Amino acid sequence: MGVEVVVEGLSKSFGPQNIWRDVSLVLPAGEVSAMLGPSGTGKSVFLKSLIGLLKPERGKVVVNGVDLVRCSEHQLYAARKLFGVLFQDGALFGSMNLYDNVAFPLREHTKKSEAEIRRIVLEKLEMTGLAGAEKKLPGEISGGMRKRAGLARALVLDPQVILCDEPDSGLDPVRTAYLSQLLIDLNAQIDATILIVTHNINVARTVPDNVGLLFRRELVMFGPREVLLTSDEPVVAQFLNGRRVGPIGMSEEKDQATMDAEAANRHLAQPGDDEIQGMAPQIQPTPGLPPRPAVARRKHRVLRILHTLPPEAQRTIVDSLTPEERAQYGIGLGTRR
């Protein structure tokens, strides 16, 4: 099972430029989370800060009781073995075939025999739908295959946390759908904690258990998918519904005068500007795979805090329960909180 990642008061700057400040959240163990935000809001910087590739000025990242921001180099090296990272471009070695690319971390960081390495590499290639492609070079395959090869390499050390930096980048909608399904299937099989950094609305609506959004150098919200997907918080609603009207503009954010003008002229909105896409169903594991253990854990966690959630999120969650689950948690049949 994956491990919990606790982020407290994390702040990062490059010189005088503040990227984001005081970010606090918990990535629940074994669940799939997504970090969203317009382009340029520091999503990839956040991901790299989680594993010490970039050093925040303040705050904590605690994994298994170790603060990765202030621990020793030895502790950081050991903790990084808990992580697997799918970089935005796949980060494959162009001169190596897929087999050697995926085998690289095993040869670099373990003393396993070549026979054991072969078993692991072929297993991960099959898990990511690349069985039979091990002799191909990165330049000979599609972008979607390169992403999956990068994911296979991220899996070879059996990570407990998988970080995916814009896995949909450069992919068409069909390949993005396949990759989304693959991430859910992997979670069902290995129960790892997964964080997806993306600005793809469809991925955000259908894949994660939990969603967060960065904007104006702050974490606007982070919580169960029902909270974000039903939220009327302006920037969250604008982003997750793909609207022009709202705080996000072409240059990241709009000034107050522009927002006031939009509010005064809502009757002139274009078709689709106010279209609410509603609560999209979450992707389920491919038939034949085991159920995701995260689903039961997450449901139990969310129902324990149900009374603290916004009314629309409460209604959405209650409506998703079976009669047996309502009885188990003391929620009357037909109840809409």
* pLDDT band, residue 101 (cuts 50/70/90): very high
Q: How far apart are the first and last CA of the chain?
A: 33
Residue 93: both structure tokens together: 């070695």
At 205-239, the pLDDT tens digits run 999 999 999 998 999 999 999 999 999 999 999 99
User: What distance in Å separates the CA atoms of residue 71 and residue 79, rounded to the nearest whole number?
Assistant: 10
Which domains occur in the chain, in start order?
5-229 (3.40.50.300)
- Predicted local confidence at residue 283, as pLDDT: 95
Q: Please provide the DSSP assignment of 12-24 as one string.
A: EEETTEEEEEEEE
Q: How many CA atoms lie within 13 A of 208 on its CB side?
A: 34
- Please provide residue 197's backbone torsions phi and psi, each rounded to the nearest 5 degrees: -95, 125
Q: Which of 81-85, 110-114, 216-220, 261-265 has the least mean pLDDT?
A: 261-265
Pairing of strands 210-215, 32-36: parallel
The widest CA-to-CA distance across the chain, in whole angstroms, is 69
Q: What percent of the chain has pLDDT over 90?
A: 69
pLDDT above 90: residue 87: no
pLDDT above 50: residue 100: yes
Q: Which of 97-111, 200-214, 262-276, 293-307 has the least mean pLDDT?
A: 262-276
User: What distance in Å separates the CA atoms of residue 196 and residue 207, rounded to the nearest whole number?
Assistant: 9
* pLDDT band, residue 256 (cuts 50/70/90): low
Sign, Cα dihedral of 80, 292, 302, 224: positive
CA-CA distances (angstroms) from residue 76 to 46, 159, 279, 291? 17, 15, 39, 33
- Please provide residue 97's backbone torsions phi and psi, each rounded to the nearest 5 degrees: -75, 175
- Predicted local confidence at residue 227, as pLDDT: 93
pLDDT above 70: residue 83: yes
State mean pLDDT over 256-268: 53
- Predicted local confidence at residue 258, as pLDDT: 54
Per the prediction, the chain carries an average pLDDT of 88
* pLDDT band, residue 336 (cuts 50/70/90): very low
Most confident of 11-15, 37-41, 259-263, 333-337: 11-15
Size of the chain, expressed as the number of residues it contains: 337
Closest CA to 34 of 257, 260, 200: 200
Residue 35: both structure tokens together: 């970090």
* pLDDT band, residue 40 (cuts 50/70/90): confident
- Please provide residue 284's backbone torsions phi and psi, each rounded to the nearest 5 degrees: -105, 155
Residue 299: both structure tokens together: 């449901």
- Predicted local confidence at residue 335, as pLDDT: 47
Which residue bears the tokens 């005088």? 16
pLDDT above 70: residue 179: yes
At 295-325, the pLDDT tens digits run 999 999 999 999 999 999 999 999 988 888 8
What single-letter amino acid sits at 12?
A: K
* pLDDT band, residue 326 (cuts 50/70/90): confident
DSSP state of 37: -
User: What distance in Å separates the CA atoms of residue 105 and residue 99, rounded to the nearest whole number?
Assistant: 11
User: What distance in Å separates the CA atoms of residue 283 and residue 266, rounded to the nearest whole number?
Assistant: 34
Q: What percent of the chain has pLDDT over 70?
A: 89
- Predicted local confidence at residue 278, as pLDDT: 65
Q: Which residues pair with 14 in a beta bridge?
A: 17
- Predicted local confidence at residue 242, as pLDDT: 84
Closest CA to 51 of 192, 152, 160, 128: 160
State mean pLDDT over 55-81: 93
